[in-house]
């Protein structure tokens, strides 16, 4: 199946007090229509930066991101090209993405009006979308502060759907919610992906949710993808030592960042990343060449890809024991 969203050798730099920081250091990814791709890793690994670049909020320093065959460029103050209105994003803080002075219905219809729909019809459509995400009929006439956090995230989802979304980037969309709301919003997203045949990149450090809803999982560490495979491959037999540590960890249900229990130290500073394999200072299985050589992706017999010297092209995934 052709990819609707494609990333090729994506590098993203930003300036921190006059010094260059490489937040994303060469990423290849693809998303297929109707697929949920989980993007996981510890806080500070570059997940959110990559997600924002996917929709054009951040500029790509090197490489290319394409959506439905067209190159994604950084957003400007001008009107977004019609082709890219189907590429939408929802954020961790739903209240921060909503205008507190505008009624919900007016905010939801923005995407419909840009598409040429008359306001009267757009308001009816907004009510339908809000009902679809489980909100009451009078939601269109209320303001953001009159809703709970979980309800506000549902509003953000309805607003994204108003743009006839075909790809949704969900950046930690449930981590700010209480436990019951997390499950409800996650289930809602899955249902909508299936109903509208969207593709979704689900960015999270909550591995229990990612495992439950994703078709494939990409594991990110310090700006690079280290392993990507189906959800069952990643959980049943992880092939990278970092993946193994993440899978064995117990994530916090309250959305706080977590540290795998069997990983020493912290994620290195991206301003001064380690030489060779970026994970080697924390890896209990590091080889001598891991300190000087950067491993390349290899494809294993089960078609997953992993960047680790412990794995060899065309072989079965090795059992990792930490």
For the chain, the domains span: 5-101+143-306
CA distance 110 to 320: 50
Pair of tokens at residue 268: 């290195």
pTM of the entire predicted model: 0.91
Per-residue pLDDT at 259 exceeds 60: no
pLDDT digit string, tens, across residues 119-160: 889 889 999 999 999 998 789 999 999 999 999 999 999 999
Q: Helices (DSSP H) in 166-263: which residue ranges?
A: 179-196, 207-213, 231-236, 241-248
Are the C-beta atoms of residues 280 and 267 closer than 8 Å to each other?
Answer: no
Q: What's the number of CA atoms in the CB half-sphere (13 Å) around residue 205?
A: 25
Q: How high is the pLDDT of residue 322?
A: 58
Are the C-beta atoms of residues 130 and 107 closer than 8 Å to each other?
Answer: no
Tell me the mean pLDDT in the region 267-294: 92
Q: How high is the pLDDT of residue 177?
A: 87
Q: How high is the pLDDT of residue 141?
A: 93
Architecture of domain 5-101+143-306: 3-Layer(aba) Sandwich (3.40)
**Which helix (H) or strand (E) segment is 224 a member of?**
strand 224-230
Per-residue pLDDT at 86 exceeds 60: yes
User: Taking Cα atoms as reference points, which of 126, 213, 139 lies closest to residue 174?
Assistant: 213
Per-residue pLDDT at 297 exceeds 50: yes
pLDDT digit string, tens, across residues 25-78: 999 999 999 999 999 998 889 999 999 999 999 999 999 999 999 999 888 766
Number of helices followed by number of strands (H, E) in the chain: 9, 12
């Amino acid at each position: 199946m052709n990819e609707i969203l494609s990333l090729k050798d994506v590098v993203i730099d930003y300036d921190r007090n006059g010094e260059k920081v490489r937040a994303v250091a060469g990423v290849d990814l693809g998303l297929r229509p109707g697929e949920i791709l989980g993007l996981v890793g510890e806080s500070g690994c570059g997940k959110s930066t990559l997600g924002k670049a996917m929709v054009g909020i951040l500029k790509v320093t090197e490489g290319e991101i394409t959506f439905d065959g067209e190159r994604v460029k950084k957003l400007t103050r001008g009107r977004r090209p019609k082709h890219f209105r189907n590429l939408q994003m929802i954020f961790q803080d739903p209240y921060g993405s909503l205008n507190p002075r505008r009624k919900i219905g007016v905010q939801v219809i923005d995407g419909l009006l840009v598409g040429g729909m008359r306001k009267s019809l757009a308001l009816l459509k907004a009510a339908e979308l809000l009902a679809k995400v489980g909100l009451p009929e009078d939601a269109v006439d209320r303001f953001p502060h009159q809703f709970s956090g979980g309800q506000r995230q549902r509003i953000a989802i309805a607003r994204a759907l108003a743009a006839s979304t075909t790809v949704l980037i969900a950046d930690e969309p449930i981590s700010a919610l209480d436990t019951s709301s997390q499950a409800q919003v996650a289930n809602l997203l899955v249902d909508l992906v299936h109903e509208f045949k969207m593709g979704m990149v689900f960015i999270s450090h909550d591995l229990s949710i990612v495992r439950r809803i994703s078709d494939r999982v990409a594991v990110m560490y310090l700006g690079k993808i280290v392993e990507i495979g189906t959800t069952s491959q990643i959980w049943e037999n992880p092939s990278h030592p970092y993946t193994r540590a993440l899978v064995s960890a117990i994530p916090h249900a309250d959305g706080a960042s977590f540290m795998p229990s069997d990983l020493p130290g912290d994620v290195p500073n991206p301003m001064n990343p380690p030489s060779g394999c970026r994970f080697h200072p924390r890896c209990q299985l590091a080889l001598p060449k891991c300190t000087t050589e950067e491993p390349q992706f290899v494809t294993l017999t089960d078609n997953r890809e992993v960047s680790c010297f412990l794995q060899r092209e065309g072989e079965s995934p090795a059992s990792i024991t930490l």
